[in-house]
Amino acid sequence: MDEAVTREAGPATATGEARRETGAPRHKAKPELLAPAGNMEKLKVAIRYGADAVYLGGKAFGLRNLAGNFTLPELSEAVQYAHDRGVKVYLTVNAFADNLELAELERYLEETAPIPLDAYIAADPGVVDLIRERFPERDIHLSTQANTTNWRSARFWQSQGVKRVNLAREMSLEQMRETAARCDIELEAFVHGAMCISYSGRCLLSGAMTGRDANKGECTQPCRWNYAIVEESRPGEYFPIREDETGTFIFNSKDLCLIEQLPELVRAGVGSLKIEGRMKGIYYAASVIRIYRQALDSYWEDPESYRLKPEWLEELSKVSHRGYTTGFLLGKPRDVDHEYLSCYVRNFEFVALVEGEANSGGTAVAVRNRLQVGDVLELIGQGSSFTRFTLQQMLDENGVPLKVAHPNQRVVLPGLAGAGEFDLIRREKATPR
């Protein structure tokens, strides 16, 4: 096997260098890295790769109904698993309830009350009020859906007993800094992941076009569809809005990526750095969490000499994304912040998950995409380093040699030294000719 590929960061670029601010405030406590957990496997992966806390949904009143989510027994198991490893768990109840749903919501909160969750994430003022009335011992974190865009809003929610506010993505860095200075409340901000084209995610397109309400967790993502123009006097004639021969997706946003601005966010007073992606796979979650974990740790340990490492950006480019933008953080978005082709960048594909040492020796892996002897693969674990190797041999569970393995098979890879549970194996995708 080739040696692990590690690269020392060269001199920081002007955009990547941590910009020092004389007298800038600094947290008393290290900021939290908050990661998505769409199901139990994703929760375990998030914890394995360095999350300080995870957010997840139950089977009701969250905004990701199409994620796996957690039954009540699974939720109890998830909280126990996380707490055993020093990780907090926040439950989303951030849907907007109508009158007919209030009784059901109260029953749901009563069912989850015995589970030692660290906080509820809510957006609807009525839901916040219900939690404060019925479960005053439970911490409340305000969801991005509440659209907190200024310090007075943050201060208002603080007066309502909310412990933490997720700041709207529309806020600039300077506005975040001012909010931290004027309010004595925990601040949370998204640092990475997909963004809705609508105002902080409160979109009406899905509900209007399909009957599936985004504000109740059933978004069909119509902002990602292809559109054409119809002139009223010529019904049935569709004129595409073209950027090239594939058309254009006029509502799309690029994905948020604030790895370069992480020091400024910490100095501004953001106490929780949140990664989007409960609908994303474990390869995405692991790849993103491990880079932000390393960057946050590196900055916190030595702010004065901190520099952005080029390999962090390189690793983030290897997960599926729509191009990256800093959104509103550094000012109003420009035309380049919109993705007109709706094409995901997918240069690498996740092919197998390491399950641990096989009884017969070697490393047991669960195959997620077709594997073939001779493939050039990369093994990734914690940290930003990875190991590149050529697959020389592969055995089935009975020790029979294989040339090819297919999704959902379990195989043994001899000689994969250093691999541990939840390590991931990926493969660079061939460039189309």
Q: How many CB atoms lie within 10 A of CB 190?
A: 24
Task: Give the amino acid at 224.
Answer: R
pLDDT computed for residue 136 by the predictor: 95
pLDDT computed for residue 254 by the predictor: 84
Q: How many CB atoms lie within 10 A of CB 20?
A: 11
Q: Rounded distance, CA 405 to CA 246, Å? A: 34
Q: Rounded distance, CA 338 to CA 334, Å? A: 8
Query: What residue ranges in 248-314 does DSSP mark as E strands?
Result: 255-257, 272-275
Task: Give the amino acid at 253.
Answer: S
Q: Are strands 376-380 and 424-428 parallel, antiparallel or unpaired?
A: antiparallel
Q: Are strands 228-229 and 119-122 parallel, antiparallel or unpaired?
A: unpaired
SS3 state of residue 229: strand
Q: Rounded distance, CA 327 to CA 146, Å? A: 18
Q: Rounded distance, CA 223 to CA 369, Å? A: 29
Q: What is the mean pLDDT of each run of 10 residues along the chain (433 residues)?
A: 33 32 55 96 96 93 70 96 98 91 94 97 95 96 94 97 95 96 96 79 72 74 76 76 53 85 97 92 95 97 96 92 87 59 73 92 94 95 84 94 96 89 91 47
Render the burial of 112-133: b for 16+ CB within 10 Å, e for the rest.
beebebbbbbbbbeebbebbee
pLDDT computed for residue 240 by the predictor: 62
Domains of the chain: residue spans and CATH: 10-199+252-337 (3.20.20.70), 348-428 (2.40.30.10)
Whether the CB-CB separation of 215 and 63 falls below 8 Å is answered with yes
